[in-house]
Every structure is written in C-alpha cells, then in structure tokens.
Structure 1
Amino acid sequence: MPTLKSIAVLVTGAFAAASTLAAEPVQKVKPPVSQAYIDLATFSGGMPAMGGGGGMFGGLFGGGGAKTGGNTFGQTQGASTGRWMDVTLMTRNNPKMMHATQSVPTGSKLSPNVKLEAPELEKPSGGGAVSYQGSGGDMQMPKGKMYLYWGCGTEVRKGQPLVLDMAKMDPAQMSKFFQNRGQTFQVPPPQPGRPVWPNKNDDRLLPEGASMAGEHSFAGEGVVEGFRFNIDKAHDLMPAIVAKRADAATSVNFSWQPIEQAKAWFVASMGMRNAEKDEMEMVYWTSSELPDMGMGLLNYQPDGAVDKWLKEKVLLPGKATECAAPKEAISATAMTRIIAYGDELNMAYPPRPKDPKITWEPQWDVKVRTKSVASLMPGMGDMAAAMAAAQQGEGAERGQNGQPPAEQKPQSATDSLIKAATPSAFDVLRGLIRK
C-alpha cells in the first residue's frame, strides 16, 4: 500500500511536470508581408445561369447570378457552367497597391501573365438608409411545412423526417431543423489596395483545356521579391463531374464518375411537392449520416473540417461513386447539387521554424482551393451526364459570367427560411421578422 509520503512525491512530480509543459515557449508568428489567394472552381450539369438571377435555385444553394459579357471576379462562388479562377493579392508593404501581375504557366493558355487590378474607391451615392415596405394589410403566416431527410439508402430511416411547420415559427423547432455545417473561409473581397483577377481590364475567360499546374509568381509595388511557387497536378483545376439521376420505384439513385483529386463528396437535394396556392411543402435531403440541410457544405471547406466530417460520415469518401435516397425524400421538382472537394494547397516562405523559440516571419504565403460542383435538374436523367461531359470547355465559348457577390456571411436559419418560402410568403415572413 502506498504511503502518504509516496503519494505526496507523486503529486509533487505531477505538478512539476505540468509546470514544465506550461513553461514551454509558444512560437511567435508574424503575418506574411505579401499574401495571395487562388480559388479554382468547376461547375457542370444543369442549365447555365440566366441574366443576373442565377436561376430559381441559384440563391438557395449559394450560387451567384450571371450575365453575358467578360469574365468577372466571383465566379468561383457562383454556379455558371464552366471553369473559373479568382485571384486576390495584398501586401503590407503597400496598402494602397492598385496594380500587380501574376506570371502563369503556358498550360494556362493565359501566359505570360494576368493583370491584377484593384477597384477604384467609389463615391457614396447618398440615398440614406434603406427601409422595407411591407405588403400592407393584415399579415398572415404562410401555410406549409418543410421536411428534412438525410443519409444514403432506399428506405426512410427511423426518426425521419424532421418537420418544420412554417405557420408556427417555433424557435426550438427551427433550431433543430436548420442544421448547417460549414467552415468556408471567406477570401477578402476586392477593394482599393487589394488587386484581383479577373477585372475590367483583364476579363479573359479560362480557355478550354487550361491548366494551372506549373510555376506562378507575383510582382507589384510592395510585393516581396521571390514570391514564386508551383501548383502541382493534384491542386490543378478539377474536371467536371459527370453525374446522373435515375428514378426507381422506391428510390432515387445518384451516381457519378470518379475524380482522382476528390478528397470527399457531398450530395444535397431540394424541391417542392404538393404545392398549392396558399400552402407549400419544401423537401430537403442530403447524403450526410447526420442531420444537415447542406447549405453550408456546398462550397470550399478546409482540409481539417473535411477530415473531421469524413470520420463522422457527414461527407462521403473520395472513392464514392453513388448514393441512393428514398423516393419520399426527393420530390419530382428537386434540384440536386453534388460537390467534390479538392485538397487545399498552403505554401509559405520561409518555412515555419521547427524550434518554437524562433519567431516565424513569412515573407509570403499563398492558399489555393479547388472544388468541382455538378447540378442535376429534374427530369434530365442520363442527359445530365452527357451535358456535363460536353460542358467541360463550353464556359469559355459561351461567356457566362456573374457579378462578384458581396462579402459572404454564413447563412442564418432566418435567411434559409425566407429563401425557401414561395414568393407569396416572402413579404409576410420578412415583415414579421423585421418587426
């Protein structure tokens, strides 16, 4: 039996060990002098976005609008068919930098470089505060319900669906229903001192077959010398997803061709059923094994979050090629989005010192993100797969482009509910929430 003295020695030793650990130095990290973000995105399937609205479902799934014209910054956050690149550059040596260049590899078909430009500071237009004009008269809550199903399988699982009665607007019910994972890092938006590509003076579309694999470098007033790095094939533009939807007697089956760069997959569907003039039913289904509406996951996600959600089976593994849903969970009007997540590429110079006593002072760093997203429209069947294969280079030929969205913020439950409501219910909900 241990003596009182031996117990005291053990306790003292434990405290001494804890103190030693606590005394270990925490490495100081200074922000990089120059910093760049490169987003690469591929969109396929479905229909091209229409003039400025992004289509009926574009906003619901986080898509931006589009219009015919030159390339514009922000297309990687939209949903227009094609392959897109957004580049943002900043430097602490010159907070007022307006112009810069990025040398790109010959495979990009944009070489020798692209021109980055910052937007001019716009003068205030006046106008004052924006007020909301209600629909007038006695406002009534919209009638209808929202249903959430989740998980791959041909049968509705026990405990599903989650149901939200829109007329009751119960906070507890809403909190339980609107579950949206997502840790998308929001790239700083274009502004004076922060040049981007594309822009009004270099609005070229990515040519068909373009590749960003190879050596890149940045130059500009205040940009550190030697800002040079390589993008490997694993972090190049991803191919278009070739996917299809097949309706069976009791299930709806989604399948897609494998993509070597895919680290994980996620499938989300949304549509209406039994729609009536004064009542609606919105039906959501996702491939997650845990309840999730999916609105936060249909975008870039950091590697750490993807790894976590793979373990939790919120995301499908990179080798997955199919997922079935119960027929009840996919309405006849449902639109489905499938996303393949690529690995992030994070580089900095000089590398982080292994000795925590040495301060890390990176001269530059760059973050490269990749994703591929497919849209499956109702009733398209095998035609969606054929369209996806054909659309690989059509984005450059069509010139489908969107305006850059404002700095995006995580979508709240209220915003999700408003966007899911029918146009007739929109004013009612918005008016009540703002009161």
Structure 2
Amino acid sequence: MNKHTLHFALAAVFAGILPNALAAPVTYEMNLRTSSGIGAGGASGMLGMMMGQGSGVTKTMDLRLTNPADIPSGYNAEHTVPEVMRFGPVLPLKGERRGTGESGPGEEPDGKLLIYWGCSATVAAGQPEVIDFKSMGNRLPPEVAAMARQSRRGKGGGDSGDTLPPRTLWWPHGDSGFSGIPAESSAVGDHVVKASFMQREIHYTLDKEMDFLEAINLKATSADLKAAIPLKWDALARARGYNLQAVGAVGEKEMVIWMAAKNKNPMLPGTQNSCTIPAGIFQKAEGAMTIAEAVGPSKGFAYPPQKPGEKKPLIWAATVRVSGFDYLMLGMEDMAKEAVGDAAADSVVPGGGALIKSLKGIFGQ
C-alpha cells in the first residue's frame, strides 16, 4: 500500500468513527432593528425630512441560517415566532445558489476619500486622512476594496455564470408574502428554528432585555454645512454605545466621511447623547447624510449548553443582536425636487441619489 492509498484509507476510517458533533456547527443570526428618520420611510420619508417634516419608526428583523456544508436540494427550513410578534407565526427561510467567486478585472477605482473624526466644533490637527484610490492600487483597505468589487458587479464584472448550492438561508429575503412588521410587534418569547438538514432544532427564549429598541430620535440643531453641526439624540437605557457617521459627495470623484471616533466600536459610550460635526468639512458637498446607530444588547445560545470554561463540540450556535438606526439629511432642503427624481436610488440607500452618483464616478458604473 503506497502512502497516498494509506492516507485516504486512514481518512475514511476516521471519518467513520468521529462523531458528527465534531463538525462545524450550524450557525444562526437574528438581528432586530428599529429605524427612524429617513430610514423609516424610504424615498417619501427622505423627502419629508428634507422639507423639515417628521418621520415614522419601523421595525425590521433579519434572519440568517448558515450550514457548514452545501444545503441539499429540496430542503425545508422555517422559524416559528411567538404570538406577540403579530405576524407569521411561521417564517420561511430561503436561499439562492451562490456564485463561484470568479470575476473579471473590472474597472480600477479612481477618486479620493477624505476621512475626518471626533466630536469637536473644529477639525483636529492631522485631519483629514486622504485615500487616493488610483495611487493606492492594490493597497486599498479591505472595506474599500470590497465596496469597489460590489459596485463593479452591477455591470457584469462579478461572478461567472457557474453556481453552487446555497449554504445560507435568509428571511425576509425570498418571502414574497411579507408586508412588514407591525409597530406593536415584540420579539419576547420562544423562538424555534427547524430545517430538514439539521440534526436538532434551534430553540431559544428572549426576554424584555432582548426586545426591539426604542427610537433614537437623532436631531441636528443646525444644518449649515459651513458651521459646526451639533447632534443630539435620546439616551437609550439598553444601548451599550453609539456609532455616528456622516457622508457627503463632492462631484463624482470625491467623498467626505466623518466618524464620531476612529478605531473604536462602539464609537461613543452609552452614557453620551450628543456630538458635534466639525465646521466646514461638508461645505463643498451638495449635502450630507448622517447615520446614527444605537448598539443594543446581544446574546448567544448554543447546543449543547456550555458551562464557563467548557468547550464541548457544538451542534448549533445562535446569536441575537438588537440595534437602532436613525438618519438625517443635512443642507439638502433645496434638493428636495431632485431627490424625488432619484427615488429609485434613494429606495436602496436613503438619500442615495448624490451619493450613488459619486460612487459611480469613483468606482465606475
């Protein structure tokens, strides 16, 4: 018996005697989000905010079931929610065949990104950090390179026509009968996930701590892009911290991004409910979109249950995350009519008309 035959023989033997639980576990993610401001009303909500009107609050829930191996055809998977959710109660989890990851070279990014950070009335020394996409070439940060690849896929530069079986199933993606989560919906109670390819169903219970967050109610006391822009929001009892960002486009080849803090997650502590965008960083932009995220509680579940210090092989592991988002458009009152014309872009990215034009200019069509 040569060494290659011996290798495969031993592999077959060990595959037969090792328990199934030693394989990578099935993982499940449940994200509960509360959105207010522009993000709560799509293009019409954005227009109302730009004209100084209020906006509503929406709740969303994203579910993701990931199998470590290809999911066999003819599968069935579902998530049963408690009665207090006021919809469902059985939600279908569906997936799509995935691409092979092979793609053509596409267009090279061309443009600049100016990055500012910190809660202050004036720009701190050493800012902005400037990223010149063309000069950096293959040395782009991973997040920016991913953005460029994603934008190129929209014009045929993405995956080839070959596909593989899915390994991930989602909801509400693929659920044509879903019409939205009621305002009075609550996630408190028992949740059960079943799938024909799973050894054991996923079961966990959520308490009030893990329910949807309240609205952030982000407000700017000034919208003058030449001046400092103070921001305030409601301090949420269950928020662990906050992330604040603002983005604006200068023509089609330059973007400006501001962050409340750099290299911190969350950027701000849960006890803080105000921050200031430095004066003048968006004065050359047509406007700026401000995004606030409240980072709420998260909780993990697993089977078999793990005691502190234990490392039992898992059959499944589930994570539930709670968060809130709010959106503001700054300095864009005069752009309301143009925004209506950009409704298609704005329905994908709130306020995305000008932003997407800039992304196209930097990353190609």
TM-score by length of 1: 0.54
Match of 1:375, as an amino acid?
Y
Corresponding position of 2:136:
171
Corresponding position of 1:385:
none
Match of 2:293, as an amino acid?
I
Identity within the alignment, %? 23
Report whether the alignment pairs 1:221 with 2:188.
Answer: no
The residue correspondences of 1:130-279 to structure 2 (distance < 5 A) are 146-163=113-130, 169-171=134-136, 192=166, 194-198=168-172, 199-200=174-175, 202-225=177-200, 227-247=202-222, 250-272=227-249
Corresponding position of 1:99:
76
Quickly say closer, same or farther: Cα 1:222–1:129, change in 2 above 3 A: closer
Corresponding position of 2:258:
285
**1:255, CA displacement in angstroms?**
0.8
Indicate which of 266, 271, 279 corresponds to 1:319: 271
- Separation in 2, partners of 1:322, 1:179: 30
SS of aligned partner of 1:329:
coil
Match of 1:170, as an amino acid?
S
**1:123, CA displacement in angstroms?**
12
Corresponding position of 1:24:
none
**1:192, CA displacement in angstroms?**
4.2
Indicate conservation of the 8 Å contact 1:94/1:221, yes or no: no
Match of 1:269, as an amino acid?
A
Corresponding position of 1:348:
302
The residue correspondences of 1:98-117 to structure 2 (distance < 5 A) are 98-111=75-88, 113-117=89-93
- Separation in 2, partners of 1:158, 1:120: 48
Report whether the alignment pairs 1:377 with 2:339.
Answer: no
**1:337, CA displacement in angstroms?**
0.9
Quickly say closer, same or farther: Cα 1:196–1:270, change in 2 above 3 A: closer
Indicate conservation of the 8 Å contact 2:68/2:167, yes or no: no
SS of aligned partner of 2:34:
strand
CA RMSD across the alignment: 4.4
**1:227, CA displacement in angstroms?**
3.1
SS of aligned partner of 2:330:
coil
Indicate conservation of the 8 Å contact 1:98/1:195, yes or no: no
Quickly say closer, same or farther: Cα 1:352–1:31, change in 2 above 3 A: farther
SS of aligned partner of 2:22:
coil
Match of 1:366, as an amino acid?
A
Corresponding position of 1:38:
30
- Separation in 1, partners of 2:358, 2:126: 25
Indicate which of 264, 283, 290 corresponds to 1:336: 290
**1:120, CA displacement in angstroms?**
6.2
Match of 2:64, as an amino acid?
T
Structure 1 or 2, whichever has the larger Rg, is 1
SS of aligned partner of 1:210:
coil
Quickly say closer, same or farther: Cα 1:348–1:150, change in 2 above 3 A: same
Quickly say closer, same or farther: Cα 1:360–1:163, change in 2 above 3 A: closer
- Separation in 2, partners of 1:420, 1:162: 22
**1:366, CA displacement in angstroms?**
1.0
Quickly say closer, same or farther: Cα 1:123–1:336, change in 2 above 3 A: closer
TM-score by length of 2: 0.63
Indicate conservation of the 8 Å contact 1:224/1:363, yes or no: yes
* Number of positions where the alignment pairs a residue of Structure 1 with one of Structure 2: 290
Indicate conservation of the 8 Å contact 1:244/1:255, yes or no: yes
Q: Deviations over 1:53-75 (max 9, x none)?
A: xx9xxxxxxxxxxxxxxxxxxxx
Note the residue ranges of structure 1 that are not aligned, 5 or more in a row.
1-28, 56-79, 135-140, 182-189, 293-308, 382-399, 404-417
Match of 1:197, as an amino acid?
W
Quickly say closer, same or farther: Cα 1:34–1:164, change in 2 above 3 A: closer
Structure richer in strand, relative to its length: 2
SS of aligned partner of 2:87:
coil
